[in-house]
Amino acid sequence: MEMHQIRYFLAVSETLNLTKAAERCNVTQPSLTRAIKALETELGGEVLRRERALSHLTELGQRMLPMLRQCYESALTAKMVAASIREGEAAPLSVAVSRTVALRPFTTMLRELSCAFPGLQLQLRRGTGAEVIEYLKQGTAELAIAGPLDEPWSRLDAFPLFEEPFHLVVNRTHRLAGKIRVEFTELASETLLINTECEMVEELKACLEANDIVNTATHQVATQEDLLALLDANLGVAIIPDGASATNGFRRIPLMRLELARTVSVYTVAGRPRAVACATLLNLLRAADWSFDARTAQQGRAH
């Protein structure tokens, strides 16, 4: 499979017109048709129903489209990296991170990136799930790291990185701090600290309800920082993601039947040219061994 075959196919999928697609790719129509035929041989079926001005994708073509686009973008990135590795050149990179996702697991990749691109200039934004999507749409962020984003936008590419469990976290002086484990019923009389801007707030509420924790007193906050400050002041207990609960000074206690976890993913916008630094970070994140990282992070906290 050759890059130009996919490029021609993508052009046809966008124009739905062989003549226009050939023009856009700057080739003759016979060469475009030939290349797509070759691609079809490889894919084992027709991707296109050919009608001069009314061509359309077959079921196979539709099914293969997102995958072909992704493959093409990866190959394009590789080509771009090859062409543009120049020492010291300024490499701006804008990243949006959800307010509830800890940055720590990603700092090793950022350090690696800055070694490879000494001209790296990072712009880090924080936001709620909705804000993160907005940053991506507007192009103010090239790449985002967040929990599940409830967003139907078809151009949003999500690459899952790791599962992050939620834990019950209390102040060290809290009455539950000495417990080996806690039942949900023991939370009925507690004040719960809830971050209303967490991507998982609805899931958390549903989980509490499912375990008969209803009408419990809450303090609602909009940032993880404020939640931790209230936790530090012992104003309540919280059920928060693993990364956020790694802060010293708090106690993490197993909460029986708590099966709340989220998938932390890296998000990019399909079909938008990626700068080399962004593309390289995406590869670093996707190639990384998250299971190992999670384990060592866990061990680090245990000591």
Partner 1 sequence: MAERPLSDIVEDAFIRCRDLQAPLAARLQAFADELRRLSPHFAEAVDALVNRLVESDAGATAPKVGEPMPAFLLPDEQGRLVRLNDLLGEGPVAIAFNRGQWCPYCRMNVNALARAEEEVTTEHRHIAAIVPDRQKFAMWLKSDAKAPFPLLTDVDNGYAMSLGLAFFVGDEMKHMMVNSGWDPSVSQGTDNWTLPIPATFIVGTDGIVHARFVDPDYRTRMAIEDMLAALRSAR
DSSP state of 255: B
If one asks whether residue 65 binds partner 1 (CB under 8 A), the answer comes out as no
In sequence order, the β-bridge partners of residue 156 are: 269
Q: Which is nearer to partner 1, 31 or 108 (CB)?
A: 108
Q: Concatenated DSSP letters for 137-168?
A: HHTS-SEEEES------TTEEEEEEEEEEEEE
Q: C-alpha 51: how far from its chain's center?
A: 39
Q: In whole angstroms, what is the distance from residue 54 CA to residue 203 CA? A: 45
- Are the beta carbons of 269 and 156 closer than 8 angstroms? yes
Q: Which is nearer to partner 1, 40 or 190 (CB)?
A: 40
Task: Go through the chain and tell me how many residues it has.
Answer: 303
Q: Label residue 44 exposed, middle or buried (CB < 10 Å: 0-12, 13-18, 19+).
A: exposed
Amino acid at 1: M
Task: Supply the minimum distance, in Å, between the C-beta of residue 114 and partner 1.
Answer: 10
> Which parts of 44-85 fold into alpha helices (H)?
59-84
Residue among 110, 177, 261, 288 that touches partner 1 (CB under 8 A): 288
Residues with Cβ within 8 Å of residue 200, at least 6 apart in sequence: 100, 147, 148, 166, 241, 260, 262
If one asks whether residue 67 binds partner 1 (CB under 8 A), the answer comes out as yes
Count of CB atoms situated within 10 Å of the CB of 198: 27
Stretch of 107-115, 123-131, 250-258, 261-269 contacting partner 1, by CB under 8 A: 107-115
The C-alpha angle with vertex 136 and arms to 119 and 86, in degrees rounded to 5, equals: 20
Q: In whole angstroms, what is the distance from residue 101 CA to residue 107 CA? A: 12
Residue found under tokens 């079926």? 45
Residue among 26, 30, 44, 180 that touches partner 1 (CB under 8 A): 44
Stretch of 19-27, 113-121, 137-145, 245-253 contacting partner 1, by CB under 8 A: 113-121
Binding mask 243-272 for partner 1 (x = CB under 8 A): ------------------------------
Task: Supply the minimum distance, in Å, between the C-beta of residue 149 and partner 1.
Answer: 19
If one asks whether residue 222 binds partner 1 (CB under 8 A), the answer comes out as no
Residue among 17, 58, 74, 218 that touches partner 1 (CB under 8 A): 74
If one asks whether residue 109 binds partner 1 (CB under 8 A), the answer comes out as yes
Residue among 19, 28, 31, 41 that touches partner 1 (CB under 8 A): 41
Greatest Cα pair distance in the chain = 77
Q: Kindly list the distances between the CA atom of residue 164 and the CA atoms of 9, 11, 154, 243, in Å, as whole numbers in the listed order.
A: 38, 39, 25, 8
Residue among 16, 75, 201, 294 that touches partner 1 (CB under 8 A): 75
Contacting partner 1 within 162-221 (CB under 8 A): none
Task: Supply the minimum distance, in Å, between the C-beta of residue 44 and partner 1.
Answer: 5
If one asks whether residue 38 binds partner 1 (CB under 8 A), the answer comes out as yes
Q: Which is nearer to partner 1, 84 or 185 (CB)?
A: 84
Stretch of 9-17, 73-81, 98-106, 185-193 contacting partner 1, by CB under 8 A: 73-81
Applying CB under 8 A, which residues contact partner 1?
1-3, 38, 41-44, 67, 70-72, 74-79, 81-83, 85, 108-109, 112-113, 115-116, 159, 280, 282-284, 286-289, 291-292
